[in-house]
Amino acid sequence: MAELSFACVDAQALPWAAGPTLRFRLRITAPAEVRVHALVLSCQLRIDPRARTYSEPEAQGLDYVFGAPARWATSMQALHFATVGVTVPGFTGGTEFDLMVPCTYDLEPGLGKYLHALAEGTVPMTFLFSGTLFEAGPGGVQVGRVPWDREAAYALPVAVWRELMDLYFPDTAWLRLRRDTVDALLRHQARHAVPTADEALSALLAAKEDGLCPTAR
């Protein structure tokens, strides 16, 4: 079967999608004479946090993910970003295509905390590919597997990630709460005539720091 190589050449925030989506532009290269009938790919995206350095404010934010910097040698591990399937139409020699990757700004998982902590620079990513290759030949279509060692590295600009989040959640972030916590927060808002959850939480946190925090129930 043909030897394929992969590269990521660009990434953009996709506007007007149903939810936050990154559009990665991927390039596949095959020998010039090879006719690929179709390619069914599974693409796993992984963040490699050890592949960059961090400022002091970023390191403070990463304390919630990996602990103190003194522990990073053992605690800082790769983060799973997404796994996406895609079918690539036929091509000869090489092609480019868009990989649409749905994203979340949920700060509960370590991935959300990690991306939220970054202020600048890039997010070091690795694309891991597997799948099925349909290669056209004189005797018909041959079917083979994409080797598990096919991968591509890409440095996603932090600015692109922030642009994506600002498109869908301008100046906000998402927190996951238990239902009983949400019920208690709504009762607190109604009791104290606080119009938004953001204002209620801000007031409760300020009161907590002053030692005057009332119950939210």
- Could you tell me which of 154, 163, 173, 174 has the C-alpha nearest to residue 14? 163
> Using the 8-state DSSP alphabet, how is residue 169 labeled?
S
Res 126: pLDDT? 98
Res 166: pLDDT? 93
pTM attached to this predicted model: 0.84
| CA–CA separation, 84 and 15 (whole Å) | 19
Res 212: pLDDT? 58
* Per-residue pLDDT tens digits for 106-130: 776 789 899 999 999 999 999 999 9
Contact 92, 23 (CB under 8 A): no
- Beta carbons within 8 Å of 22's beta carbon, 6+ residues apart: 11, 12, 13, 14, 100, 101, 103, 156, 160, 161, 164
Res 82: pLDDT? 95
Q: Tokens 């989040």 — which residue?
A: 165
Counting every residue written for the chain, the total comes to 217
- Could you tell me which of 34, 33, 154 has the C-alpha nearest to residue 99? 154
Res 215: pLDDT? 53
Res 108: pLDDT? 67
* Regions in the chain scoring below 50 on pLDDT: 216
The SS3 assignment for 49 reads helix
Res 170: pLDDT? 86
Res 217: pLDDT? 52
Res 105: pLDDT? 77
